[in-house]
Amino acid sequence: MAEHTMGRFLNVLRSWLVMVSIIAMGNTLQSFRDHSFLYEKLYTGKPDLVNGLQARTFGIWTLLSSVIRCLCAIDIHNRTLYHITLWTFLLALGHFLSELFVFGTAAPTIGVLAPLMVASSSLLGMLVGLWYLDAEPVSRQKKRN
């Protein structure tokens, strides 16, 4: 029964990672298409700091995170990739929290609260999934005996 729950949770986590990855790809395209997206939705606290270069850099960072998350969804049992993916959410959470509370470039709008919620809930899900992954070898050994 526990093994069934473990597999189901990891499958939900994989689906979540794919969905978050697809959304991030959309944000990447938006960052390259028109940098006003960033100062109208995210960095509303100091919009004058947003320029095309910053938007493209944000876009590449978002694309890299998207690719890592998608690869993790494909190979969720790869522990190194799993840990790297977990770090993408931790870094995103740290970035948006620091822009909101330290640097003042972001304001508590839906444009910032949404990625904060996605990053924090994804981080939580990844930590729970890590517990399942750590328990998995024991389950496999018990199954063989």
Render pLDDT for 82-95 as a digit per residue (tens, 0 to 9). 999 999 999 999 99
Asked whether residue 141 is assigned to any structural domain, the reply reads no
Asked whether residue 142 is assigned to any structural domain, the reply reads no
Closest by alpha carbon to 66, among 109, 115, 130, 131?
A: 115
pTM of the predicted protein model:
0.88
Which range of residues forms the domain containing residue 18? 2-136
Asked whether residue 49 is assigned to any structural domain, the reply reads yes
Q: How many domains is the chain partitioned into structurally?
A: 1
Asked whether residue 52 is assigned to any structural domain, the reply reads yes
d(CA 113, CA 141): 43
Asked whether residue 79 is assigned to any structural domain, the reply reads yes
Asked whether residue 144 is assigned to any structural domain, the reply reads no
* Mean predicted confidence (pLDDT) in 39-44: 93
